[in-house]
Amino acid sequence: MTTNSNFDIMMIGHFAKDRLVVDGQGETASGGGVYYGSVALRRQGVNVAIATRLHPDDFAQLEELKQEGVQVFATPAPQTSGIENIYDSTDMERRICKPLGFAGSFQAADIPDVSARIYAIVPIIAGEVDLPLLKTLATRGQVALDVQGFVRIREGNDLVFRQWPEMKEGLAHVTYLKVDRAEAELLTGLTDLTAAAHRLAEYGPHEIVITQTSGVTVYAEGQIHQAPFTPRSLAGRTGRGDTCFSTYLGKRLTGSAAAATRLAGAVTTLKQEQPGPWRGSLADAEALPAK
């Protein structure tokens, strides 16, 4: 699993075999932050790799990412992770999530010996990445972290949100932090997103990316940046946060926080209109008028 390649971004998280149910009609779909995020990054021209765990029977599902130019490092696991997302089409914002499988915790040996400018930890369920591994990755480069994979806990047949007991120590090693509105309130007790962002930054992260129904709010370098989500439909609602965070990180490699926020808002708007990962063009996203 050793290579001499250098990457812009290395993503670490479980590839998921999800089940999407809308109005009682279900279908199996690929998912996870490494899936939605890596494709969006490739469409930005970012050199990206993923480290993931899944059952060998599902390795063929990774060919889609390889075709996009994603470098894939996969470790065999007893199960492939998955989540059942149940929606009512009249309100695609609200969903019921149930665990379908769990591919187990990443070990240090599962992470390839490659260099990257950013190591993006994008787990879907708590238990994928532990604090020692987070610390190890922080010695190799900047760490981006989606807190979802530390506060979304499996309890029986349900997924519930709980506090991250090691948050204070963990966030001290993070450069870019992604939370949604509910997670921001859970972790800080604050409903105002600007106040929550400032509070989270006190733990160490330099930049905070917060998503909600209406758009994305970013705290970076002492300033607040915002961009709206204005999709014509929510047919591609699943993967919204993954797409937003990865797009922000990709643009941040070369652009300002303000520019990264604008692009993240535009790409996420377009992504929500179509199921699956965003496969549009940067020209389309950049041409989208801000509202």
CB neighbourhood size of 202 (10 A): 10
- Strands 158-161, 152-155: pairing is antiparallel
Q: Tell me, what's the pLDDT at 118? A: 98
Could you give the percent of the chain with pLDDT greater than 70?
96
- Please list, in sequence order, all residues whose beta carbon lies within 8 angstroms of the beta carbon of residue 33, skipping any fewer than 6 positions away: 11, 13, 120, 122, 123, 124, 146, 149, 242, 245, 246
> For 170-209, how does the pLDDT look when each residue is reduced to its tens digit (9 = 90+)?
999 999 999 999 999 999 999 999 999 999 999 999 999 9
pLDDT score of 15: 97
Q: Give all domains of the chain, ordered by start, each with its CATH number.
A: 6-278 (3.40.1190.20)
4: confidence class by pLDDT, cuts 50, 70, 90: very low
% pLDDT > 90, the chain: 85
Q: 13-22 pLDDT, tens per residue?
A: 999 999 988 8
The per-residue pLDDT for range 131-168, each reduced to its tens digit, is 999 999 999 999 999 999 999 999 988 999 999 999 99
State the pLDDT at residue 290.
67
What is the arithmetic mean of pLDDT over 98-122?
96
Q: ∠ at Cα 239 (236, 243), nearest 5°? A: 105
If we measure between CA atoms, which residue out of 9, 59, 69 comes closest to residue 39?
69
Per residue in 28-40, pLDDT (tens digit) is 999 999 999 999 9
* Selection from 273, 280, 165 nearest residue 229 by Cα: 273
Angle between helix axes 257-271 and 33-43 (nearest 10 degrees) is 110
Among all chains, which residue has been given the structure tokens 């998503």? 211
Q: Region 263-271: what's the mean pLDDT?
A: 97
pLDDT at 230 over 80: yes
End-to-end Cα separation, the chain, in angstroms: 46
Amino acid 2: pLDDT = 41
Higher pLDDT, residue 288 or 170: 170
What does pTM read for this prediction? 0.94
Radius of gyration of the chain (CA): 17
